Amino acid sequence: MPERSIRPMEARDLPRVSEMERLCFATPWSKDAMEYEITQNGLARYLVLEEGGLVCAYAGAWLVFEEGHITNVAVHPDFRRRGHARAVLSALMRLALGEGAEFMDLEVRVSNGAAIALYQGLGFKKAGLRKGYYEDNGEDAIVMVNDRLGRALGSAPAP
Ligand SMILES: CC(C)(COP(=O)(O)OP(=O)(O)OC[C@H]1O[C@@H](n2cnc3c(N)ncnc32)[C@H](O)[C@@H]1OP(=O)(O)O)[C@@H](O)C(=O)NCCC(=O)NCCS
């Protein structure tokens, strides 16, 4: 497998990240929104994973006191099922833990079995349901929480 590395997202990544947003999500974030996240939002932390020098996964969170709220996790369709999401999300969890987060949470579509399995594998548990949360199709969101970040990372591979 080509060399894999994880680093903070930078402005030079935005064209590739925007392309991936469009490929991965029904309601993609705009390039401007993502640029705001990495240049203006002091609470935001975004990581990219490169394989062979090409960005093929990213994940982000807002760190607010003891909470780390995961905003995005995406892997380019050509690079899935290689452990990239697990690796970049583990790195984000490690970063959040290092900055004092006591738990992380997220919303996921009820139909998104791949993502739900990913999060469960990293110790997230279903904690609630937001009815009609997604505006594009009225789908419900499952709220998932991991309040044992240290324990979950103990069994996760380092990037
Ligand atoms: C969900 C997503 C991030 C997974 O990325 P990935 O790099 O393929 O995932 P990984 O290879 O790291 O897989 C980690 C675990 O997730 C689960 N998983 C990932 N893809 C899966 C699939 N298609 N079906 C079932 N489980 C899946 C498995 O438990 C897997 O562990 P395993 O390989 O040991 O069985 C990717 O499919 C994606 O970008 N989807 C579109 C965007 C999205 O839905 N983001 C999440 C929004 S909440």
Mean pLDDT along residues 63-87 = 98
Residue 159 lies in a domain: no
**Higher confidence at residue 2 or residue 29?**
29
DSSP H/E element including 120? helix 113-121
What CATH number is associated with residue 52?
3.40.630.30
User: What is the helix (H) or strand (E) element at residue 45, kind and residue range?
Assistant: strand 44-51
Does any ligand 1 atom lie closer than 6 A to the CB of residue 110? Answer: no
Q: Is residue 82 part of a domain?
A: yes
pLDDT tens, position by position, 18-64: 999 999 999 999 999 999 999 999 999 999 999 999 999 999 999 99
Domain that holds residue 84: 4-154
Q: Count of domains in the chain?
A: 1
Q: Is 134 a catalytic residue?
A: no
* pLDDT exceeds cutoff 90 at 152: no
Q: Is there a domain that residue 125 lies in?
A: yes
Mean pLDDT of the chain: 95
108 lines ligand 1 (CB under 6 A): yes
- Evaluate: CB of 69 within 6 angstroms of ligand 1: no
CA distance 106 to 72: 9
DSSP 46: E
Q: What angle do CA 59, 67, 95 make, to 5 degrees?
A: 45
